[in-house]
Structures are given as C-alpha cells and as structure tokens.
Structure 1
Amino acid sequence: MTTSTLKDRKGLPVAKEAIDSFASALAGKAIRSGDADYEQARRIWNAHVHKHPGLIVRCAGTADVVQAVKFARAHNVLVAIRGGGHNVAGRALCDDGIVIDLSGMKAVFVDPAKATARVQGGATLGDVDRETHAFGRAVPVGVVSRTGIAGLTLGGGVGWLVRKYGLTCDNLLSCEVVTAEGEIVTASADENADLFWALRGGGGNFGIVTSFLYKTHPVSTVLGGLIVYPRDRAGDVIRHYRDFMASAPEELTAYVGLITGPDGSPVVGVIVCWCGDLAEGERVLKPLRQFGAPVMDAVQPMPFPAMQKILDDAFPDGTQNYWKSTFLKALSNDAIDVIVDHANKMQSPLSAVVIEYYAGAAGRTGAGESAFAARKAEYDVGFMAQWTDPAENEKHMAWARTMAEAMKPHSSGAYLLNFLSEEDADTIKAAFGANYPRLAQVKKKYDPTNFFSINQNIQPAA
C-alpha cells in the first residue's frame, strides 16, 4: 500500500479514501508516490526540472480530464498539465499537486477530403507528421519531433513551414477544451470565439485542450539539411545568411546555429527546409550552398518527417537545459558580433545559439487577430545552455543569462515564451504586448480563480 503525498494549496493532505475513490473511477491510471512507475511518470525531457507531484493522472480520454479537474477543484489542489512534457521550463510538473497527464492521448485522424487533421492533446509532432505524411500533407509545427503539439500550438508554434504557412496556431480551426469548471466546450471562430482567440498564442491559461483541429497543407518531400562551416567564419556566414534571406521565397525557412561538431570543434551551420518544387529549390539554394567553403553540405531531398527529426539528437532526453531568447530589432552587424562573441564563450559542447528567421506568412496576420502578438518580429535568437552534470548548473546558466543581458541593446523587447526557462511578469506582459489586457479579460471569464496557474501566467482582470 502506498502513501499519497497529495496536498491542497494550504499544504494539508488530501484523504487517501478520497484519492482511492477518484482513482477507481478513471479509465486511465492514477499514479502515486511510491508506485513502481512513479519515478518514470514524473520524468520529463529537461532533467534540470525536479518536481514531485502528489498524484499523476494518466488520462485515457476527455472524461478522465474532466474528472481530474473536478477532483482538483473540490480539494483545492494545485494542477499542472502535461502534454508532450518537452517545455524547457518544466511546466508539465508541480510539487505536491496533481499532474493531469495527456501523454496517453495521442490519436491523430486525417480527413483528406477536408484537408484537416484532428489531433489529441498528448500527441507529439512526430505523431502528427507520421499520420499526415501518409496522405502527402503536413501541419506546420516545430523542429523537434518529440515536442508536444499542445504546448507548441498554445504558445504560437514556429518551425520549418512557418514562412510559407504561418505559425502552428494560425492553422488551428477549432479546439475541444475542458474549462476550469470541468465543462467541455468547443472553441472556434464560430463558438466561444474569445476563447479561440486567446488559445492561439496565449498558452495554457484558459483550459485544457484535449483535441485540436488543424488545416493541413500539401507537403511531402522537402529539400533540407545542414551546411556547416568552421566557427571562425561565423560572422561572414551569418551576414550572408541575413542578406540572402531578405529576398528568399517563402518556401524557404532557414536558421543558423552556432554549435559544436561531432569531433568537438566549434562550427556554424545553416539548416534549411525548402517546401516547394524541388528543382526550383535547388536553383534558389545554390547561392546559399556555394557561399565560402563549407566543410559539409548535407542538403538533399527527404520526406518531411525526416526533416522534422534532424535536430532530435541535439536535444536528447535527460540532459540539463536552461534557455533564454529574445526577438531582435534587426540582425545588425553589431548584433551579429555580440552573438558570435558570446557563442564562443559557451561552456558545454551541447549548448547552442540559434538564430531563426520568421518573416513571411506569419507576419501577414495582424497582431490583434490572435493572442500571439509578435507578428512583425523577423528574427529570434535563442541561447540554449545544455549540459549533463548537475554540479555544473551555475556556470552554464550564467552563460545563458550573460548572453541574454549582452543582447538587450539589440532586443525588440518581445519574447517567444516557448523558448524561455523562466520569466517574470513584465516579460510575460511584453510578450503579449497590446493583447495582454484582452487576455486578462478572457482569463477572468474562463478561469477567474486562476485554477490554471502553472504556465506563463496571465492574472484574471480585476
């Protein structure tokens, strides 16, 4: 017999009998501290996050989610929501409270006639890619296949198709949502339109999305891969990349990474994804691929799901991660010099600095048309500290923080919240910009008690 550590928000234990009764009514499974599978169930991708939930509810379907919300409300218990568990800040977990775990809800249903895909809230990008690819289509998602579709979408969602087809949230048609009262509602342009507006970029503040309906696009084989140069060419490579991308067709998304090569040498790489006609892609990419003298050019045609997995090995499960990022006013020569200088000071071969360019379809959506406000921010730079030994936490975190501080003169003052390990209330408000007051009103309507608080939290309007 195990002993539950589930506590209410005052730190008082929840009666074992109440937990037993709740657990017996689930189609899924309630996992408690001391159970054989508890340690595995509480692990997430980022090993830097250590939380010990009192109860993990592995939901089998929407009915379990409803029951978990109602149970948590009845006992005044803190709640965290787990989708893919790949958020760098570790908001899939909490101490002492309940984790409502959707990771078993991974079904994807593609409707080729309507060009849509219905995706459950626990699915990963890899789950989505596998099913949509069978129909020669794709949903614009992120760049690491193990990322959860829910957190990605609710935070906006940027990836290899962003310049051609927009953010992930721009391709969202409707959501099935469990509210803070445990009610099941639909959010779309026609039903609960205010909630639908807020879910597209407003994070996990407003409810638990148990399924998403997306538009799909005709993407099957892409031209993609990595072009690698020695690190001492980084400044020239980034400037050429910037100038090239300024007039590149929207079928091309390309990012720059200052990384460590397999042999331990520091390098700079341009990673590209062309989602249009392959022959045209070969022509367009030629000036990018022929610049300088790359030590490797691995660009080639590949299935889109393979493109989505190219970076998977760079972000393995079980490493320590701490990230900072900011949108830039411009990728100026001065900003490039700062980026290269601080990248050369990284303390771990697993760490990286990544420059991402989003200009295109995402920027043609107005800043007020969805909660995601940073529509005119073309460049985002991420400082991704990653290491293996927890004893080295401070020096790697200090590197990321120092780099973020050095970039402040070049920052636009806007942020991609999915790329931050921590943020204060001012950063959250800056990320939502002029949309914040409206988001606070939607929060007041759908979650006036801030039941959903483990997120980039928006306080309900007074």
Structure 2
Amino acid sequence: MLYQQTALISGASSGIGLALTKELLLSYPFIQIVALCRNPETLQQLKRSYGDRVRIECIDFTNRDCIKSLQNVVNQHTHFSYLIHCAGVVMPFGDISNVAPDEWEATQWINVEVPRLLTQICLKKFSHSRVMFLTSDLPVQPVAGASAYCVSKASLNMLCQCFQLEVDNDIAVFTTVVPGNVDTKMQETIRQASNRALPASELMRSMFSANKLLPPRLVAQYLRQLLSDVTPNTFGSRSWNLLESIVEVSPAKQTKTDSIDTRATETSLVELASLVGGAFWSPGSAEYEENRKVFNQGVSRFPLVIIQPKTKTDIIHIVKCAKQLRLSITIKGQGHGVSGMSVLNNAIVIDMSMFKTTVLNVDKSSVNVGAGVKNSELDHFLAQHNKVVPLGTCPDVGVVGATLGGGIGFLSRKLGLSCDNVLAFGLITADGKVKQVTESQHAELFWALKGCGHGQFGVVTDITFKLHDAPQNIDGRILEWPLCHARSILRQYSEIVLSDNRSVFLYAYLSRSTHDKARISIMGFSEDSVHGLESVAKWQDGAELLSRRSQYVECQSNNYDSDLNLYWRNGIIEGELSDEFIETLLSCYRACPVNSGGFMLDPLCGAIQDVNADGSAFIHRNASFVCSITGITQFERDDTEVIDWVNKSFDLLSPFFNGHSYQNYDMGNGSPLALYYGQHTARLKLLKQQYDPTGLFISSLLRPD
C-alpha cells in the first residue's frame, strides 16, 4: 500500500520517540512510521494494531557500521514527509577532565554525527518535508558533570542552523525542539547518577518526587502539532521550547492538550488591535480560552490571537498585518467541524461570528447571507417569506462553511446542493482586496468555491443564494426498528435512494448504543403525499415512530450532542448498497466498543447528479451515498480503543468505497488531497498558488499531493 505520508523516527522504541510514534499513528490514518530503534519489543503491540503502517528497523547507533544499514532503509522509500531525531544519550557523567576520549567520541557520534549523516542520506528523499531535532536548553547554561552531553546538544543546534542555511525550503524545513524535563529512561539515568558526578541529579530526583516531569504523551502531542499544524515558514522560523510554551491552567480545566501552546512572539499585534473594531483576544484571557474551543472536544489548540472583526475593513487590516509579519490565518465560521481546522496553533484566527446579516432582495428571488449566520437562523428568516435555500439538517452548522464544502440536506435531491444554489461569493483575498466572485467574474474562483472546503482562497464574508418556494406538504419522521431487521431496511433504503423520486430524502443510521438496545433508524423527509413516509414505515413490522414533523423548519433540527471527543471518517459509495457491504457494516457495528460509535448514510443522487462532474469542485456527482464512521468518547476517557475501531472499520469498508470522501465530514490534515478533490486536485492547487502564493490562509491545499 502507498501511504500519503511517511515519517522516519529515530529512537522510536522508548520515551518521546515511542510516544510520538503512537501519537502520529492515532492522529493520521494515512501515515506510515519507519521506526529506527534498538529494542523492537516495545513496538510489537503497535505493529499488531497497525500492521504495515509501522515498519520496525532494528539499528544500533553505537555501531559505526549503522550508516550502511540506515542507507539501506532510506533507499527502500521514495519520500519522507518527516524526519524526527529522537535518539540520543546523556552519558558519560563526571568532571570533564576525567571523561575518556572514547566516551566523549561515543556521545558526539550518537548525538551529532548520526543525525547529520542520516539527514544527509535522506536529502534526496525530501520534498516539502520537515526535519526536527530534539535538543536541550542545557547548552545555554553549561551543566557540571554533563559536558559531553552539553557540547553535543550545542553542536546539534548549530547543525540544524547549517541545514537551514544551505537547504532550500522546497526540499525541507528544519527546526530544533527543547522538550523540557520528560519522564523517560534518559531522565531515569540522570536521577540514578550521584550528586558528585552530576550535581543536577538531585534536582531531577526532587522534580520526579513532586510529579513535575512532563509525560511523554504530552510532549508527543506538542511535537505532532508542530509537525502538522503550523506553516512551513513558521515551523522553521525559530527553535521551539515546550517549557516556554506551557500555559498554566488549573487541573480541573485540563484536557489532553490544554497545557500546550505554540505561540509565536506577539510583536506588532498591539497596533493591529487598535485598527480592528471588533473583539481581540490574546492568550490568558477568559474570552480567549472560551473561543479557542471547537465542537470536537478531542481537539485543543492554541492560536496566537483570536479576532472577531466587525467589518470588511477590519479583515483587510488583519490580512495585511499577517502578511507583513509572516503569520498565518485560519477562519472560524459558525457551527462545527470534526477536525477543528478553523483553530490552529500559532495562527491568527478570524472569527466571523459578527457577520450576521441576512438581506432579501426586492423580488424575493435571492438572499445575501453573512458568514456568521447558522442554518437555523437562515431557515427561520426565510420561513417568514415562505422561501428556502437547500441547507443541511443541523441547525447549529454555519451556512457559509457548509456551502463551501458542498452542503447536503433534505432538499438536495430536488434542488441540488447548497453550493449549487450560489449566485455570488463575497471574498477577501490574500492581497487584501475585496472580490465579488460570480459565474462571470473570477469564474475559476467561483467554480472552486463550490466544493473546495472553507478557508482555502481567502475570507468568504457572505454568499448570495437563489431562493425557492418553501415546500408545502411535509412529512418528516424518525423511524426505528430492532437491529435484527437492519438487512431488510437497508436493502429497501438503497432501492428508494436509487429511484428517481426527488421529493423523498432519507438518512439511515446505526446510532451509538449498548448492544441490547441497538436499532436501525431512518430519518425521513417527504413532499410526496402518495408515496411518502407511510410506505417507509411499512418496510418492516414493528416500526417505532420517534418523532413526526409537519413544517420544513421543524424538520431542520438534527442536533448533535456536545462536549464529546469525535473521530470521523467517511467514504463514498457508487451504486447500490450491496449485500456484502451491509454484512460488513453490521459486523463492524457489532465490534464497536459499547456506546462509543455508529454509522450514518447520506443519500445523494437526484438533482445533485444534474450538475456535470466537472461543473464545480464538488466531485461526488456520480455517487449514491456518503457512509460515515463516527467514534465518540467522553473527553476524560482514553480514546485509543475507539480510534482503532474507527480506523479498522474504515479499512474493512474501503473495498466498497470509490476512493473519495466528503469534504464537510472530515478534511483531517492526515488525509491525501485526492481523497476529497479527485481529478480537480491539480486545478485547485494551481488556483491556490495564484490567489494565495505565500500560503497566508492555512488550508488543505497547502499539503503535498
């Protein structure tokens, strides 16, 4: 199998290296880890869980012949996205005058020469890659008894700077990271040293006793964020120090990554704050803590600053300042997304909550909607005028964000996707200019914004939609049957979706549940008074009616539970739901940890397929269903088992998928671009280069293909 990304990690069998290996495997389903280690036993469990995604290479760096082995390993791969140097030694301890030459040379060999040689070997395998050296703050202040270690780490810092100077950023960007005092085998070695040989060992023992050493998993989360969440320019702009990035929070408020902050220096931001008319929140304030949160409680990130602009002029000031300071921007709309990519470490977050306008044109044929408006707000506004825009069914989702990724809902089979009903986008681009993007003005951008996902080419401030008359004869229901009827229900569900009845829209789902209460559910919407949901209720005896609604706005109320960790993957199905697919789906559902996950099927077809496959950036025109796999945990719970279930279920169901996924249901940054953009990937990347050449707006299009 070809993997979208490959990470080469030295010292991967213990301490920070092992924790980072686990963190990357859990976070990114399309990454392969090449683990260089001396003790492969500790990696065997990961190998059993992740199979070919973990490649264990047993290499002893104390042996000078290890370079030949490293060369052989590197030659077996075409590209490394990441190279992380975690291997190192801290010995020998004692007065510098008593350190034997062979001991000194051994330390320099492992801590400096091996990283240098391994990096040189990998240079031909790099393209837009990232290289990270784990170092120490000890060289800033020499430590008695640790001269060999201090000198080696000082040399490693200089080595990184030389690579930065001499290697083009298009090949690789380099940085060093000071992880702080971490509870690892190396720390244990330090604590076991005598005060006479290493006076600092007493401090390390007291820190250990006071539980002040950082856990390796916390450090691994920090490193993973640096590797994936910051731009290349930011990654290579400084030496990172976790100790300087710690945010003090009370234990009651801590979550998985609440004590990590990758803030850059806050230069010139005071001047920006004076220019912006809206809210401006920096780390440390209660407003910052509240507004950095995203819907998925499994995601916790720390932007440089969060700004809530009031006007387009405010946004222009933010864009120009960020460009001048070489900072990056993410855009936070309203509602929720699973990957939480609207809030990233070390970025300026533009929160569009204050853009709440909804303006109906004179003849009620169109409506202009601000980027802070939610589905429910637009639905209720238009209901006063007996009009609709086809939107998704969750009232708390932002209209603009959902539309940029496509927008599937009850009216899609009749009226098309949300993006199919756009007349114009208001857009502020990376050059600080306001553009009205329509089919006749900036036509390529208009094509791209219909399905590319949010935040790719600039700040979308508003969208103008064409309007339709509101449906009059509504039958909205949620029906359930015992799980034993799932095969029959899903077969009939498949038939009705593939029929040409555009007035009926049905979701099918298997919700999280205890095994004894598991049900198959249909959430339906119909304007067909003859072949409506009465016929669906007759698919199988024993249907339980959970709710019934007779107004369109009532139907638009598919709420989701909050304060949960979510893990969501999805695939696209063309054609029918085969018996083999249904059996595999049910088998995966039964294997789910109790009350921790489920599946949902969105129907496509109908008017969605009326648009040519190349008519917009949305690629799923020929598809029939979106199949979502969702894992859910309380945020205090260990989520490893649930994440494994989501990934294994996706792997088992993948043979029934067409190789693509729906933009609005994931866009996690470990996924390949072609998964979401297919044949449009190259075209979209060229547009990104044209309208945002420096990558000011962090987006999926900045990833390598």
Q: CA deviation at 1:344?
A: 2.0
Q: Identify the match of residue 327 of structure 1 among 572, 577, 586.
A: 572
What value does the CA root-mean-square deviation take over the aligned residues? 2.3
Matches within 5 A, 1:193-232: 193-203=443-453, 204-221=455-472, 222-232=474-484
Q: 2:441 aligns with which of 176, 191, 198?
A: 191
Cα offset, 1:248, TM superposition: 5.1
SS in 1 for 2:638: helix
Residues 17 and 372 (structure 1), Cα distance of their counterparts in 2 relative to 1, 3 Å cut: closer
1:263 and 1:437 map into 2 onto residues whose CA distance is 45
Residue 318 of structure 1 and its aligned partner are, at CA, apart by: 1.7
> Residue 422 of structure 1: CA displacement?
2.3
Q: Which residue of structure 2 aligns with residue 242 of structure 1?
A: 494
- Tell me, yes or no, if structure 1 residue 395 matches structure 2 residue 641: yes
C-alpha spacing 1:425/1:322, structure 2 compared with 1 (3 Å): closer
One of 540, 551, 555 as aligned partner of 1:307? 555
- For residues 218 and 294 of structure 1, the distance between their equivalents in structure 2, rounded to whole angstroms, comes to 36
Identity %: 24
Structure-1 residue corresponding to 2:197: none
What is the aligned length? 447
Rate the CA distance shift 1:369–1:46 in 2: closer, same or farther, 3 A: same
User: Normalized against structure 1, the TM-score is what?
Assistant: 0.91
Distance 1:44 1:389, change over 3 A: closer
SS at the partner of 1:205? Answer: coil
Residue 603 (structure 2) aligns with: 357
The separation in 1 between residues aligned to 2:296 and 2:309, in whole angstroms, is: 22
Runs of 5+ unmatched residues, structure 2: 1-229, 240-262
Structure 1 segment 277-292 matched on structure 2, within 5 A:
280-292=528-540
**Could you list the per-position Cα deviations for residues 328-383 of structure 1 after superposition, in whole angstroms to 9, with x for gaps in the alignment?**
13311101111111112222535320011111001110011111111101111000
Name 2:519's counterpart in structure 1: 267
Pick aligned residue for 1:75 from 325, 347, 356: 325
Alignment partner, residue 178 of structure 1 = 428
Residue 398 of structure 2 aligns with which residue?
A: 148
Superposed displacement of residue 72, structure 1? 0.9
User: In the alignment, does 2:677 pair up with 1:432?
Assistant: yes
Highest relative contact order (Cα 8 Å, sep 6+), 1 or 2? Answer: 1
* Residue 297, structure 1, aligned to residue 545, structure 2: yes
Mapped contact 2:264–2:346 kept (Cα < 8 A): no
- Deviation larger for 188-197 or 110-119: 110-119
* 8 Å contact kept, 2:342–2:349: yes
**TM-score normalised by length of structure 2:** 0.61
Give 2:356's aligned residue: 106
* Greater Rg by CA: 2
**CA shift for structure 1 position 220:** 4.7
- Asked if the contact 2:549–2:555 (Cα under 8 Å) also holds between the matched residues in 1, the reply is no
Q: Which shows bigger deviation, 242-251 or 142-151?
A: 242-251
Q: Deviation string for 1:62-116 (max 9, x for gaps)?
A: 2221111111111111221100151111011011221111022122122361421
Q: 4+ runs of 1 displaced by more than 4 Å? A: 11-17, 260-264, 458-461
Aligned partners of 2:667 and 2:700 also within 8 Å: no
8 Å CA contact retained: 1:108, 1:119: yes
Write the deviation string for residues 186-226 of structure 1: whole angstroms up to 9, x where unpaired. 10011111111110111221111000001121125531120
Counterpart contact for 1:447–1:460, Cα < 8 Å = no
Report if the CA contact (8 A) 2:611-2:621 is conserved. yes
Secondary structure of the corresponding residue to residue 361 of structure 1 = helix
CA contact (8 A) 1:109 1:131 kept: no
Pick the aligned partner of 1:382 from 622, 628, 631: 628
Q: 1:297 Cα shift?
A: 2.0
Identify which of 10, 25, 30 aligns with 2:280.
Answer: 30
The CA distance in 2 between the partners of 1:243 and 1:368, in whole Å, is 27
The answer to whether structure 1 residue 251 and structure 2 residue 503 are counterparts is: yes
Which of the pair is proportionally richer in helix?
A: 2
Match of 2:612 among 345, 366, 373: 366
Task: Give the superposition deviation at 1:390.
Answer: 3.9
1:3 aligned residue = none
C-alpha distance in structure 2 between counterparts of 1:440 and 1:147, whole Å: 27
